[in-house]
Amino acid sequence: MYLLPVTERTPIPYEEALARIVAHVPPPKPVEVPLAEAAGRVFLDTLVADFSLPPFRRAGADGFALRSRDVEKASPDRPVRLRIVAELAAGRTYDAPLGAGEAVRLMTGTAFPEGADTLLRLEDGEVEGDTLVVRRPLPPGRDVFEAGEDIRQGEVLLRPGDFLTPGAISVLATFGRTRVRVGRRPRIGILVTGDELLAPDEPLVLGKIRESNSFMLGAQVAMLGMGAHVYGVVPDERELLYARVRSALEEVDVLITTGGVAVGDYDLIPETFRRVGGEILFDRLAFRPGQLTTVAHVDGRMLFGLSGNPGAAFVGFYIFVRPYVLAYMGLSPERALHPRVPAVLEEAIPGRRRLPVYARGCYRWEGGRIVARTLGPDSSSYLSTLVRANALLYLPAGEDLPAGTEVETVLLDVAPH
């Protein structure tokens, strides 16, 4: 049986806990997906430009292509008149070299005629029938994009490990990729423990609460662009829990559990992780919330035993589960972390913390800097602070933090701020 008193469970700091998790991330497993389904995945190929972009000289605005030397003496009093020899929509070309005294009307993105070297914007032109009136000189190259000005042939555009943003999808489409090799997403399972839990549609009774963790964690997984198999609520029964965890591990790469990580008679997760063959990576943290979070590794699969308190489970997902999932897909561990930035405290926070705390908070931009505040009491069992939390504020142990103090802040991608 794996039941250690809290005093025998060695607390470790966040950086060490994360390093132990990252050390067990397997190499990414490549899969090929249609380009339309590749956003939010991790690229496992190299994309090299096989042509320059733009592939031809093109107009940077709607207007008239002309030769700058034809209008070098143009002035309001002595305008130059050019003959409009063609009008081009995007995708059309003017095949003859542009002659002296000629102009071509064209749209943004249209191939620039040979011989033309500048553009008079449509709003600046005066047209009289088929004649363009120009009242000022124009420098060569104005509103003209040269071939290869954006991307040069042979340039490396995407590398293995790059996250596929909407912009990256655009580049892949431009260079003819309709199928993309990416890292496979892990199969994720969620299992909730506790005799005290009711379904959301069950009436409340004394001593019971409605189960919300599986819905919250499922939503957090969904925000990564994937789904999770929810195994429901498992009572605090040793053999039943063991059977459910063992069965789930036959179907998933990542199993997230909530509850049962403390040291009471019914806190069975550490024991269960050991019984299914798991190597316990850590079972106590030197910070809050989720001090008794337990993480184990078994046969290439990761088990995250999060606290049953919603606030602690919320934080545990973002600081442990999310980085592992993204690294599993092929993202480097450093890039898998949420951005951490200094933020200025809007309020004073008294130093009554026995351990460092990742406090749920809210940030905003103000005067060119990030200002943040906590969201009321930081009890890990409180739900109210989760509604508006879009940041985690790292508060060191024991220090009074006056308003205006800079604290390390983890920016979450949960809601507009």
Rounded mean pLDDT of the chain?
93
Tell me the mean pLDDT in the region 319-348.
94
> With pLDDT > 70 as the criterion, what percentage of the chain qualifies?
95
Q: Which CATH number is associated with domain 6-29+184-336?
A: 3.40.980.10
| Residue among 257, 320, 259 at smallest CA distance from 285 | 320
**pTM for the full model?**
0.87
* 340-411 maps to CATH 2.40.340.10: yes
417 has a pLDDT exceeding 80: no
Whether 387 has a pLDDT exceeding 70, the answer reads yes
Model confidence at 55: pLDDT above 80: yes
Q: What is the pLDDT of residue 209?
A: 85
Higher pLDDT, 102 or 386: 102
For domain 58-145, which architecture applies? Beta Complex (2.170)
Confidence of residue 1 (pLDDT cuts 50, 70, 90): very low
pLDDT at 4 over 80: no
What is the Cα–Cα distance from 214 to 232, expressed in whole angstroms?
8
Domain 33-53+151-183 CATH assignment equals 3.90.105.10: yes
Q: Break the chain into its structural domains and give their ranges.
A: 6-29+184-336, 33-53+151-183, 58-145, 340-411
Helix residue ranges per DSSP H, 249-355: 269-275, 310-316, 322-328, 333-336
> Do 198 and 263 touch, CB atoms closer than 8 A?
no
Which residues lie closer than 8 Å to 342 by C-beta, 6 or more apart?
A: 370, 406, 407, 408, 409
Integer CA distances (angstroms), 32 to 82, 155, 164, 179, 326, in order: 55, 23, 14, 6, 17
